[in-house]
Amino acid sequence: MASHDMASIAQALVAKSKGILAADESTGTIAKRLTLIGMPSTEENRRDWRELLFTADGFADYISGVILYDETIRQKAKDGTPFVDLLNKAGVIPGIKVDMGAKPLAGSPDEKVTEGLDGLRERLAEYRKIGARFAKWRAVIDIAADQPSNYCLDVNAHALARYAALCQEADIVPIVEPEVLMDGDHDIDRCYEVTSAALRTVFAALDTQRVVLEEMLLKPNMVISGKKCPTQASAAEIAEKTVRCFRNTVPAAVPGIVFLSGGQSDEDATANLDAINRIGNLPWEVSYSYGRALQHGALMAWGGKPGNVGAGQRAFAHRARLVSAARDGRYSA
Ligand code: 13P
């Protein structure tokens, strides 16, 4: 029954050669992306962009599931087919972002806590009816001289665990995403330290709140140098430290780790995932749940021009093929 289904969905999302497309940008975030190509963020333009992605030839060979936003999961393609049906027909599992965004943390306003627990049980029941089989909740952890505080790690882990428990109650696989941001000038070892602390706190909370590890996925950042750090770690160092960090903090019962790209270039996100998978003999499947790294090239190739839809779709399928190769540790730049 339900639990068996959730474990199978979690495994299907991290099947060999496949990973997740994050297309769940909130209305504010998608507006920023469309601005890059000079497009106003109207509901129709947002629909056209997502339709380009979801109808790209061959994309289902590399994409196991798509994370949708509230607007998108209710949207229809131009020919009237609901996006959820279109994805299901292609063999791609529909998912839904259910958090309501990161807000200033009371008592420590430079840090953030993710909101969205109120009414979540009811929203999950509705999304399950619409067809969502998995969900995402993102906590945001910033690195600064005296941040993150234990307070910030604790409340975010508590919320992630409450969300995950509610998802499993609703027969929806939770993707648990504690994102340690790569902004800042910290080095890779500081990222290692904060990512370890965040993961330990998250798994303690998941345990307390009785979340079934076989029925969830973890969506973390890689262990990586801050964007403004003068020394940038190589792919080999990123892979070695990422794997060591996760081996020490993530139980083997978790079926899969799906990395976010977090502002890395398309090429870096691909090369680093490849280096991680080349280490081999990992206790979990190690795959991707990329937003920007899968979409950026396609967005540029499309440029919002109807005549460029094919070019956008080819760029998307091309990047998805490379990331899929990296997920299996057989990418060559
Ligand atoms: P990026 O890969 O662009 O970081 O997006 C993934 C995501 O869903 C962040 O929540």
Residue with the smallest CA separation from ligand 1 atom 9 is 260
Catalytic residue among 51, 177, 179, 285: 177
Please state, in angstroms and as integers, the Cα–Cα distance from residue 97 to each residue in 1, 3, 38, 309, 317, following that order.
Answer: 24, 21, 26, 26, 23
Catalytic residue among 97, 136, 219, 241: 219
- Could you read off the pLDDT of 208-226 as tens digits, one per residue? 999 999 999 999 999 999 9
Q: Where are the domains of the chain?
A: 6-330
Does 156 score more than 70 pLDDT?
yes
Q: Is residue 103 flagged as an active site residue?
A: no
pLDDT at 322 (0 to 100): 98
Ligand 1 centroid vs 138 CA: distance in angstroms?
9
pLDDT at 306 (0 to 100): 95
Two tokens at 10?
């979690």
Residue with the smallest CA separation from ligand 1 atom 4 is 262
Ligand 1 centroid vs 262 CA: distance in angstroms?
6
- Could you read off the pLDDT of 287-331 as tens digits, one per residue? 999 999 999 999 999 999 999 999 999 999 999 999 999 999 999
- Which of the listed residues 68, 292, 299, 319 should we mutate to test ligand 1's pocket, taking the one with most ligand atoms within 8 A of CB? 292
With cut-offs at 50, 70 and 90, classify the pLDDT of residue 333.
confident
- Could you read off the pLDDT of 135-150 as tens digits, one per residue? 999 999 999 999 999 9
Ligand 1 centroid vs 153 CA: distance in angstroms?
20
HEC readout, the chain: CHHHHHHHHHHHHCCCCCEEEECCCCHHHHHHHHHHCCCCCCHHHHHHHHHHHHCCCCHHHCEEEEEECHHHHCCECCCCCEHHHHHHHCCCEEEEECCCCEEEECCEEEEEEECCCCCHHHHHHHHHHHCCCEEEEEEEECCECCECCHHHHHHHHHHHHHHHHHHHHCCCEEEEEEEECCCCCCCHHHHHHHHHHHHHHHHHHHHHCCCCHHHCEECCCCCCCCCCCCCCCCHHHHHHHHHHHHHCCCCCCCCEEEECCCCCCHHHHHHHHHHHHHHCCCCCEEEEEECHHHHHHHHHHHCCCHHHHHHHHHHHHHHHHHHHHHHCCCCCC
Q: Is residue 32 flagged as an active site residue?
A: no
Per CATH, the homologous superfamily of domain 6-330 is Aldolase class I (3.20.20.70)
Nearest ligand 1 atom, CA 67 = 8
Q: What is the share, in percent, of the chain residues with pLDDT greater than 70?
A: 99
d(CA 139, CA 274): 25
Ligand 1 centroid vs 290 CA: distance in angstroms?
5
Spell out which residues line ligand 1, taking CB within 6 angstroms: 22, 138, 177, 260-262, 290-293
Ligand 1 centroid vs 259 CA: distance in angstroms?
9
In sign, the C-alpha dihedral spanning 157, 162, 165, 170 is negative
Does 72 score more than 50 pLDDT?
yes
- Which of the listed residues 53, 272, 289, 294 should we mutate to test ligand 1's pocket, taking the one with most ligand atoms within 8 A of CB? 289
- Which of the listed residues 29, 63, 260, 327 should we mutate to test ligand 1's pocket, taking the one with most ligand atoms within 8 A of CB? 260
Nearest ligand 1 atom, CA 290 = 2
Cα angle, residue 266 at apex, residues 304 and 301 outer, rounded to 5°: 20
- Could you read off the pLDDT of 77-124 as tens digits, one per residue? 999 999 999 999 999 999 999 999 999 999 999 999 999 999 999 999
Ligand 1 centroid vs 261 CA: distance in angstroms?
6
d(CA 222, CA 258): 10
- Could you read off the pLDDT of 257-281 as tens digits, one per residue? 999 999 999 999 999 999 999 999 9
pLDDT at 1 (0 to 100): 42
